[in-house]
Amino acid sequence: MIIWLETEGKVGTVSRLFIRKMESLSILAIATMLFVFEIIAGDHARSISIEMYSECTQFVSPMNETVVQDILSVTSCAVQCAPDTRCVAFSVSATDDICMLHREMFLTGICYTGEWYFYNVQDRCMNGGDYSQDKHICQCYGGYIGQFCERIMQDCSEGYKSVHYHSGEGIYLIHPSMAPFPFSVWCRMQYVGNTYIQRRIDGSTSFNRSWQDYKNGFGDLSKNFWLGNDKIAYITNGRAQNLIFETKDESSPNIRQRVYKEFVLSQDGLYSMTYTNTWGHGEPSRHGGDCLVELKGQPFSTFDQDRDDSPQNCAQEHGSGFWFKNCTACNPNGVWSDPPEKKRAGIPEEMFWDPVSGDNLIMLCYAFLAAV
């Protein structure tokens, strides 16, 4: 750990006194002081750097300070500040061994005086987080959560339930408890937080891919993609998740939705799919229709790994990877087509969701997880 001290202006008695004091310390003493600070302050103190403020004509202390007696050094005062989430600045008496912990930072351009040393605690928030002086918390970004932005969320739902992400959508890091490493996902930070495993918005990406592609994931997270069966298994085995399919076709002005409760993908290399029960929206124009009922328990199939119950290779016939049984009525990963009349051509490889779309082409398809 490295702690650095910067002086501004170096005017007045206190700054000169501080410099003389530091010059008198031996290298061994300084090293010992920093080592003690690292051990006592804890992991989150590793991100703290200290900025010294010079003195001028009048002592102006930030509000809401806490006084700590019998402080022997600047380091001792820093150790008191580090674990206190409200502490963003501190000052140390040059003569009375008193430490003051402050909930407001010393302001740039304002001078402070007296027999004190003045310090702001900078970079209290880890991983690019910003400290909010009004709320006394760290604002985290990109999937980091926690008091100091010290860890990555397990899924988008956990990020939504934290104080950090309550709107918008985009690419975030997650680290499911079962996963050996973090990875990026597309999140919608609304409706309890949604972690997308599939997204189809146009025909620019082919979903007629190999077993390895579906295992690892492919596509562009901001457009069309399959997240990857390994990653889906990590997420669904780490926390209970509902799987939601959303589709849009010409038979309704609304997006249709179907929910599969406690959806799990097996980690045995077959990526078999199970869930406890399912339901659709109460309004008929938003009802998604159950397309997975006969596929429950089925392993995943691709053209080069035929694991369905049909004598045919359903993945090859449908031009996609999915859970197939007897070349069934679900093909959300099929070939995207967009004829002017918005009607199906009746070929098996096109994208369809028969229970509600019928002869209408699917014009949008999303699949996402939401923690139960």
Domain ranges of the chain: 5-122, 193-371
Cα(321)–Cα(208) distance, rounded to whole angstroms?
7
Are 327 and 349 in contact by the 8 Å Cβ rule? The answer is no
Q: Please tell me the predicted confidence (pLDDT) of residue 64.
A: 57
Question: Mean pLDDT over residues 214-230, rounded?
Answer: 98
Amino acid 170: pLDDT: 97
CATH number attached to the domain at 193-371: 3.90.215.10
pLDDT tens-digit readout, 149-197: 999 999 999 999 998 999 999 999 999 999 999 999 999 999 999 999 9
Asked, colleague to colleague, whether 5-122 and 193-371 share their fold, the answer is no
> Which string of b and e fits 101-125 if b means at least 16 CB within 10 Å?
bbbbbbeeeebbbbebbbbbbbebb
CATH for 5-122, among 3.50.4.10, 2.40.30.10, 3.40.1280.10, 3.40.630.30?
3.50.4.10
Percent of the chain clearing pLDDT 70 (strictly above):
80
Q: Distance (Å, rounded) from C-alpha 173 to C-alpha 169?
A: 13
* Residue 109 confidence class, pLDDT cut points 50, 70, 90: low
Confidence of residue 52 (pLDDT cuts 50, 70, 90): low
What confidence tier does 70 reach under pLDDT thresholds 50, 70, 90? confident
Look at residues 100, 108, 104 and name the one whose alpha carbon lies nearest to residue 78: 100
Hey, what long-range contacts does 12-15 have (CB within 8 A, 24 or more apart)? 12/54, 12/55, 12/56, 12/113, 13/55, 13/115, 14/54, 14/55, 14/94, 14/113, 14/114, 14/115, 14/116, 14/117, 15/52, 15/54, 15/55
Mean pLDDT value of segment 29-49: 36
Measuring CA to CA, how many Å separate 66 from each of 41, 89, 131? 18, 11, 20
Local confidence band at 365 (pLDDT 50, 70, 90 cut-offs): very high
Give the per-residue pLDDT at 51: 58
pLDDT reading at 329 higher than 90: no
In the predicted model, what is the mean pLDDT of residues 310-320? 96
Chain centroid to Cα 259, Å, comes to: 23
Tell me the per-residue pLDDT of 132-149, one tens digit each, with 9 for 90 and over: 767 778 899 999 999 889
Buried b (16+ CB within 10 A) or exposed e, 41-76: beebbebbebbbbbbeeeeebbeebeebeebebbbb
Predicted pLDDT of residue 311: 95
pTM: 0.76
pLDDT at 40 over 50: no
Closest-CA residue to 55 (of 15, 4, 95, 19): 15
Q: 247 has which bridge partners? A: 256, 365
Q: Looking at residue 21, what is its pLDDT? A: 36
Of the listed ranges 146-155, 201-210, 350-359, the least confidently predicted one is: 350-359
